[in-house]
Amino acid sequence: MGDKTEKLLSTLKLQPVVPVLIVEDAKTAVPLARALVAGGLKAIEITLRTDAALEAVRLVAQEVEGAVVGAGTILNAAHYAAAVDAGSQFIVSPGTTQELLDVARSSDIPLLPGAATASEVMALREEGYKVLKFFPAEQAGGAAYLKALSSPLAGTLFCPTGGISLKNAMDYLSLPNVVCVGGSWVAPKELVTAGDWAGITKLASEASALKG
């Protein structure tokens, strides 16, 4: 578990913000990922919320130099296997089930499991997880909630995701138990649809300049 934790941490520490992408058209995946990497955001999460997602993961893994692509919204073992097969270098889930824990244990590809309560964090710590996704961050209590967990659950690091923007990202990044945040604001749908890759690189540069 230690090696996988270090592997995951090295990915999450590449930048303060991990783009969380919903890719509607796989043809946009490569230019989008290149724009994000150019702006300093190398670790990229493509969520399995569309039919194009797995192909998008595959294309970015194969064609975008410097990108570390992961798959998000992984809900079961079949999702996990398909994402790994497509080239995912890390896996992200909104919550955690025993099925996911079992498949993660047998895989070389690290899991960033979701948790939203102290009990869920404690259960995942018992499974050996030290790095978790806090989701949905704003709706589950925000930065104040995570700050309250930092002392009783010391040693656990979080990547909060959900409702985070440039305006409130530093509320999280300034916390000692936050390694990075996840956000979709760096790749707004209107810029992707317009093919405004320079605009996305600019947003990525602003995000990569944030420091905890």
Distance CA 52, CA 58 (A): 10
168 in any annotated domain? yes
Q: What is the CA radius of gyration of the chain?
A: 16
CATH number for the domain harbouring residue 50: 3.20.20.70
Distance CA 206, CA 159 (A): 19
212 in any annotated domain? no
Give the structural domain span for 160: 5-205
- Indicate the DSSP class of residue 27: G
Distance CA 157, CA 177 (A): 5
Q: Active site includes 45?
A: yes
Sheet holding 131-134, edge to edge: 114-115, 131-134, 157-160
Sign of CA dihedral 208, 17, 89, 73: negative
pTM, two decimal places? 0.97
Query: Residue 126: its pLDDT value, please?
Result: 97
Which residues, listed in sequence order, are joined to residue 17 by a DSSP beta bridge?
181
Q: Which of 4, 133, 138, 206 is catalytic?
A: 133
Q: Which of 45, 126, 130, 167 is catalytic?
A: 45
Query: In the structure encoding, which two tokens stand for residue 162, read together?
Result: 């959900």
56 in any annotated domain? yes
210 in any annotated domain? no
- For the chain, which ranges sit under pLDDT 70? 212
3-state DSSP assignment of residue 115 = strand
Query: Residue 212: its pLDDT value, please?
Result: 62
Check if the beta carbon of residue 131 is closer than 8 Å to that of residue 112.
yes
Neighbours of 154 (CB within 10 A): 9
Query: Residue 211: its pLDDT value, please?
Result: 84
Sign of CA dihedral 4, 122, 174, 192: positive
186 in any annotated domain? yes
66 in any annotated domain? yes
Query: In the structure encoding, which two tokens stand for residue 147, read together?
Result: 């700050």
211 in any annotated domain? no
Number of folded domains in the chain? Answer: 1
